[in-house]
């Protein structure tokens, strides 16, 4: 039996968190994110006021966060990673069965959300 005093506990926690931070840094160097693609020209229909997500305007604070603005082009071009994949729960139109997360899921489908059967799913919804 051992009794860890406050300072020893703090030392153990500090070491563990430092190692975790180091692991995250190493992980980032092994799997760097692709550089953001340059903005491309896009036709904006007359009257459309929403600034496109990922078109020179990253969705975010003060702009148009994904998931907050259903009418925004975020639905079509998800913020952040990949950009070519419709995230689960972001932009799934009613009846769209490519992303069986949530209420748009195919009734009776046994495939868990994001479990290898929906190549378009971007989010770990339903995976806990």
Partner 1 sequence: MPYSGFNDHNGGNPMAQAIPAPRTEYPVALTSSLAILGLALLLQGLVDNRHALLFLIAVGLGVTLLHAAFGFSSVWRNFIRRRESAGLRAQLLLFMVTTALFFPVIDQVFPGLRATSAMGPVGISVLVGAFLFGIGMELGAGCGSGTLFTVGQGHVNMLITLAFFIVGSLIGTAHLPWWTSLPNIGRVSVIRELGGWLPAAAIQIAVLAGLFWIVRSLEWRRHGRLKPLTLTDDRPFSERLVFGPWSWAWGVAGLALFSFLTLLVAGYPWSITFAFGLWGAKIYTALGGDVSTWTYWSAGYPARALQRPVLADITSVMDFGIILGAMLAAALAGKFAPAKRIDWRLVAASVVGGLLLGYGARLAFGCNIGGMFAGIASGSLHGWLWMLAGFAGTWVGVRIRIWAGLDKPY
Q: How far apart are CA 84 and CA 99, in angstroms?
A: 14
Q: Indicate the residue among 10 and 44 with the shorter CB distance to partner 1.
A: 10
Instruction: Looking at residues 87 to 106 of the shown chain, list those that interact with partner 1 (rule: CB under 8 A).
Output: 87-92, 94, 100-105
By CB under 8 A, is residue 4 in contact with partner 1? yes
Instruction: Looking at residues 57 to 76 of the shown chain, list those that interact with partner 1 (rule: CB under 8 A).
Output: 58-61, 63, 65-71, 75
Among 51, 55, 98, 123, binds partner 1 (CB under 8 A): 123
Gyration radius (Cα) of the chain, Å: 21
- The CA distances from residue 65 to 2, 61, 68, 99, in Å, are 50, 7, 6, 21
């Amino acid at each position: 039996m051992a009794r860890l005093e406050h300072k020893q506990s703090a030392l153990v926690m500090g070491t563990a968190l430092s190692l975790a931070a180091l692991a995250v840094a190493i992980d980032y160097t092994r799997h760097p994110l692709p550089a953001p693609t340059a903005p491309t020209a896009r036709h904006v229909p007359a009257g459309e006021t929403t600034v496109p997500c990922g078109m020179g305007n990253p969705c975010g604070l003060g702009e148009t966060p994904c998931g907050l603005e259903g009418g925004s082009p975020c639905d079509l071009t998800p913020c952040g990673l990949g950009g070519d994949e419709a995230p689960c729960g972001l932009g799934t139109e009613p009846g769209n069965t490519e992303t069986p997360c949530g209420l748009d899921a195919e009734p009776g489908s046994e495939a868990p959300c994001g479990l290898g059967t929906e190549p378009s799913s971007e989010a770990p919804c339903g995976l806990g």
